Amino acid sequence: MMVNNLFLLAIAALGWGLSLATYRFFARRYNWPMGALHADLPGVPILIGLASVLCGAGFAVAVGSEYGGWIIFACGVILAIFWTGFLRVGSQISLFLAPLAAFMLVIGWYAIPLGFGIEGWQSKSPTELFSTDRSDERQ
């Protein structure tokens, strides 16, 4: 199993997307507050959530079980349960976080085949990516 930025983005896209797609069901059942978009146009958050779930699940299937595909599914479901069950109205922020995570996952996933990737960026921390010291790349 390899944990890298794409792995974490897949978990985030899957979890936040699943939370977004199912929030209206739980909010109506348990009488939780809903945002205007969930109340008035429920199809929009559901479609955004499903698109994010498909991106995360597609990446999990692409990496396969030997590289942690099942862990992406399990952690994504755990994140969705936590996000919906404990944060409740925190699900409204999923309207922004789920498509953002899915978009960054897709960009990172297809960056290398398209020739726009930084070699090895998937396994670097954000501080390593943005450091100004490039002495290790000159060798």
Question: What pLDDT, in 10s, does the model give residues 23-44?
Answer: 999 989 998 888 888 889 999 9
The pLDDT score that the predictor gives to residue 109 is 84
Mean pLDDT of 71-83: 95
The pLDDT score that the predictor gives to residue 138 is 47
The pLDDT score that the predictor gives to residue 136 is 54
pLDDT in tens, 94-111: 899 999 999 999 988 887
Q: C-alpha angle with apex 14: 8 to 16, nearest 5 degrees? A: 95
Mean per-residue pLDDT over the chain, rounded:
84
Mean pLDDT of 76-82: 95
Q: Are 24 and 34 in contact (CB under 8 A)?
A: yes
Residue of higher predicted confidence among 22 and 118: 22
Whole-number Å distance between alpha carbons of 99 and 104: 8
Q: Give the closest residue to 23 by CA, choosing from 96, 97, 84, 74.
A: 84
